[in-house]
Amino acid sequence: MKLSLSEISTVGASFQDDVRAYAAAGFDGIGVWEMKLPDDDAANVELIRDGGLGVANCIPTVPSLLQLRLPGMEGPPDPASRIASLCESMRRLAAYQPESVLCLTGPVGDLEPAEARRVVVQGLREIAAAARAAGVRLGLEPAHPSQHETVSFVNTIADGLALLEEAGLD
C-alpha cells in the first residue's frame, strides 16, 4: 500500500461514501474505523475489495484501554469492559485483513500512574492474545504530548516500546 486515508478524516461521511470517495481519489488503502461500519462485515469487505482498496489499519469502536477524555469518544469507564470490547474488536476486524488493529492506552485519568500502567500492561497482554487468536497484528499508537491528559500516556515511540516490553510483547 502506498497511500491510504483514515476514515476519521471524513468522520461525517458514511463508510460506503468513504470507500467510494477514497477509491475515486486514487488511494490504495483505507484506515477503517469500526464505529462507522455497518453490521454486515461480508458486504463491507466486498465493497472495499470491489473498490480496489486494502485495509491499512482498523480502529476499534472503543479505541483505548483507559477512558478517553474526548467529548463523544469516552466510552465505558471500566477498564475491564474496555478491554473486553477491544478483544471483541480484534475478532470482528480480522475479517477486514488489516495490516494492524490500533489501540491507545488512554490517559491516566483518576488513577495513580503506576496503577494505570499496571492496568494497561495486563490489558495489552489480553488484547494481544485475542489479536493473535484472530490472526491480526495489534498496534499501540503513541499520541502527541499535548494529548497526554486526554488520549494517551504513551507519547513517544520509546514510551510505546518500553510499555510493550514490560507487557512481554514485541
Could you say which DSSP state residue 153 is in? S
* CA–CA separation, 110 and 127 (whole Å): 23
The 10s digit of each residue's pLDDT in 62-119 is 999 999 999 888 899 999 999 999 999 999 999 999 999 999 999 999 999 999 999 9
**Is residue 124 classed as helix, strand or coil in its secondary structure?**
helix
Residues 6+ apart with CB under 8 A from 145: 155, 156
Neighbours of 160 (CB within 10 A): 18
The 10s digit of each residue's pLDDT in 19-44 is 999 999 999 999 999 999 999 999 99
Q: What's the alpha-carbon Rg for the chain, to the nearest Å?
A: 16
Grid cell 494481544 is found at 128
Q: What angle do CA 112, 115, 121 make, to 5 degrees?
A: 140
